[in-house]
Amino acid sequence: MSTTAEYVEKAESVTVNDWTRSIAPVLQLSNLTIASVNRKGKIVKELVKEVGFSIYPGEMMGLVGESGSGKSVTAAAVMGMLPKTLRVTDGEISLNGTNLASLSEKERRRLRGKKIAYVFQNYQGSFTPFLKIGKQLVEAVRSHESVPLQEAKAIALEWLHRVQLPADRVYESYPFQLSGGQLQRASLAAALMMKPSLIIADEPTTALDVLNGKQVMDLLARLQKETHCAVLFISHDLGHVLKRTVRMAVMYGGRLMESGPTESIRSNPQHPYTQMLLQARPLVTARIPGKLTVIPGEPGAITDQGCPFALRCPFRIEPCTHVPAMTAIGKTHLAACHMLHTGGEEIREAAVGGQTTQSGIWR
Ligand SMILES: Nc1ncnc2c1ncn2[C@@H]1O[C@H](COP(=O)(O)OP(=O)(O)OP(=O)(O)O)[C@@H](O)[C@H]1O
């Protein structure tokens, strides 16, 4: 079985198409478009537009972007849990080669928990408050597999143990008797115990303090390697995504700005938004820049036409009123910016070159 590191190596050495041909992705989004609709089903506004990326077995992929960029709506569509006011209007979501739109609601419900698991930001919402954790885990196992009670209990206890909780005590506890960190670890156990192909971890550490957040992410990373599942790690914290993922995608205004191997994006970001996100991170290193970059304009300001970042982009040029295509830079690294086509590369180099760190690497 290939390790994550081997996948990364593969990513560097093959073209985008070669990758998709040689290893089947667990999750593949193509041209995914999601809109809000009114009571009559008429489209009111497109919230996620033409998003496409794939996640491969055993890898953690990051989806990063500021609040409102469309990360959670994208995740809800993958889970088949969009509210009635939102609808997938175009594109495809495939899980292990199956187009999810071709499944009935009952089949999709069966997939949830079994093949796709979700780790919520709000860990309190992962459990019903008035039922003991053990009972809830046992019910979850038995809703997906016809196993005797004792076997389901053994699975629940094993997973509570694997997430480094005092298994017997937690099994007999109500959610309110656990700390936030313990509860999030119990929700990791709930997500992992059915051995899903994909875990969507939506800001899993946001509601935790730094230490508990780190422990939860360390656990997720370790168990992900052990079980070889794929993880879509959603975060507005670029630092977490850079640290934890092998590939990442950057969203703004419902569109992908850039995607590719995390190292490649860190060392050679192509989209102005990604570059500014990298520069806006405070760092405790010897190479700390004199001044952090502030991304100009109103957070969340998006244009209705063209590149959604155009309103805030200091390198805006005339073609930005049209949506730029995702363009391959080298191998599996893609970015959607007109400057990649129009010779604007030089403009940008001149404009931002002085702001890079001494090594020229955006860390
Ligand atoms: N049920 C809904 N009806 C209408 N619009 C919605 C609904 N849910 C989300 N939106 C809108 O969709 C856009 C994307 O929201 P989403 O929650 O996916 O952003 P996000 O990137 O996950 O942000 P955050 O990091 O704050 O969770 C936002 O403009 C939001 O207001």
As for the ipTM of the complex, it is: 0.97
**Which atom from ligand 1 is nearest to the alpha carbon of 251?**
21
Provide the pLDDT for residue 32. Answer: 96
Going by alpha carbons, the residue nearest to atom 25 of ligand 1 is 67
Say whether 240 sits in a helix, a strand or coil: helix
Q: Do 107 and 77 meet the contact criterion of CB atoms below 8 Å apart?
A: no
Provide the pLDDT for residue 287. Answer: 58
Provide the pLDDT for residue 112. Answer: 86
Segment 292-337, tens digit of pLDDT: 667 777 777 777 789 999 988 988 888 899 999 898 887 789 999 9
The phi and psi torsions of 120 (rounded to 5 degrees) equal -85, 155
Give residue 72 CA to ligand 1 midpoint distance, Å.
7
Q: What angle do CA 330, 331, 335 make, to 5 degrees?
A: 70
Q: Do 48 and 77 meet the contact criterion of CB atoms below 8 Å apart?
A: yes
Instruction: Determine the Cα–Cα distance for residues 302 and 320; give it in Å rounded to an integer.
Output: 12
Give residue 188 CA to ligand 1 midpoint distance, Å.
24
Give residue 307 CA to ligand 1 midpoint distance, Å.
19
Burial class (CB within 10 angstroms; exposed 0-12, middle 13-18, buried 19+) of 360:
exposed
Give residue 33 CA to ligand 1 midpoint distance, Å.
13
Provide the pLDDT for residue 251. Answer: 96
Provide the pLDDT for residue 291. Answer: 64
Low-confidence spans in the chain with pLDDT less than 70: 1-22, 282-293, 342-363
Give residue 47 CA to ligand 1 midpoint distance, Å.
8
Please state, in angstroms and as integers, the Cα–Cα distance from residue 115 to each residue in 144, 248, 302, following that order: 10, 22, 35
The DSSP bridge partners found for residue 36 are 45, 86
Provide the pLDDT for residue 346. Answer: 56
Measured from CB, residues less than 6 Å from any atom of ligand 1 are 36, 47, 65, 67-73, 83, 85-86, 236
By most ligand atoms within 8 Å of CB, the mutation choice from 39, 47, 202, 256 for ligand 1 is 47
Segment 238-264, tens digit of pLDDT: 988 999 999 999 999 999 999 999 999
Centre a 10 Å sphere on the Cβ of residue 169 and count the other Cβ atoms it contains.
14
Sorted by sequence, the CB contacts under 8 Å of residue 101 that are 6+ apart come out as 88, 92, 93
Sorted by sequence, the CB contacts under 8 Å of residue 291 that are 6+ apart come out as none
Provide the pLDDT for residue 215. Answer: 86
Instruction: Determine the Cα–Cα distance for residues 154 and 160; give it in Å rounded to an integer.
Output: 10
Q: Do 219 and 205 meet the contact criterion of CB atoms below 8 Å apart?
A: no
Provide the token pair at 82.
Answer: 């969009």
Instruction: Determine the Cα–Cα distance for residues 274 and 258; give it in Å rounded to an integer.
Output: 7
Going by alpha carbons, the residue nearest to atom 5 of ligand 1 is 36
- Domains of the chain by residue range: 264-355
Provide the pLDDT for residue 126. Answer: 80
Q: At what angle do helices 133-144 and 105-114 cross, to 10 degrees?
A: 130
Provide the pLDDT for residue 355. Answer: 43
Q: Do 50 and 32 meet the contact criterion of CB atoms below 8 Å apart?
A: yes
Provide the pLDDT for residue 3. Answer: 38
By most ligand atoms within 8 Å of CB, the mutation choice from 32, 39, 66, 69 for ligand 1 is 69
Provide the pLDDT for residue 201. Answer: 93
Its pTM stands at 0.85
| Plot region of 92 (φ>0 → left; ψ -120 to 50 → alpha; else → beta) | beta
